Structure 1
């Protein structure tokens, strides 16, 4: 298994099954800290930099709360309009990252532009975590969601995920890529104008994800183990 030390988390396309299992195991050990609302010093003397170019409640606060619970520090911005990265000057991602990398040990980025965290990772000397990039992906949300399924249902394997909503959205992309590593099925249900692109379906085939499209929830509700909505 590839080491996570110093590694970017940009996409679930590149994740392998043993890496999911490794993260789930770590989450099992850390879960009591969150459940009991305790603090630790596991990340003492470390600083997380947050660069949120799009509004966020759950994702931003989840990353920040986790860092605080583990004894670390947080700095950054939640409104790019208040910075040179998003005001009149429109500072480039390259220039912004070259500044931010000196303020912390890891960078979490949400951006309205697909691929922006990947661009940031090209220039950063610290790990970059994708917290959602345009129509691209949302890997940290899906990691959390799959861990919830694992915890509550015992396994991701053998489950039918009925994915309902806008399949052009980043979360649907990440769940589709992730399920390629499990013995699970992705059932796609979407209005015509929110249907997955041919390119995305081709990627699912290439990754080996088991998927099918249905027209109505009644066609699959009795088979559903997980209803996943976007």
Structure 2
């Protein structure tokens, strides 16, 4: 068994834990819900012809990183921060105290979900709670954001795509009400609230994407009412 295969399998186990099941991870990756590939890699199932254990190849590793917005090569590296807490009691005490010190100050951000309204079929936001984000994460990010300007959205099966994977939470800067730069935007389009990626076109106008394979070139954004700009995106993890 190659060492890199063990590393990739360990990171795959972490992703399965994040999403709650292989089926949900498959959906986030744009695969059929019952696709057996990840299960076979997870268990190193033996190939019926070669009798060799199935390992995660380069193509699958890069595809997972791209679909889940991880940097290239993430699946190939050890990540101590996602590994189990060591059994040594002194190490546990040290890690616990460090976590307390870095999580004393939290920013509370309202959490919404975009649901299909039964009366007219439109997608509209409903508040479902709050999320808490450590202030240090906001302060040291590439896009600092003030709490009063932030909103968060949970992405479910109805609104997920390869731009915003199932189970993810998107943090928006709701003060952005017009195109400022290429990126993910929450917009009102044809009466519904949806996520779209907006890219300035070298030929003039804009490219508006609903997924990596579905895009439209338009001359202006008059048909879109921009409600916010996507600042962060991450997947919920059961603690």
TM-score band (shorter)? under 0.3
> What TM-score, normalized to structure 2?
0.24
Structure number with higher helix proportion: 1
TM-score, scaled relative to structure 1:
0.25
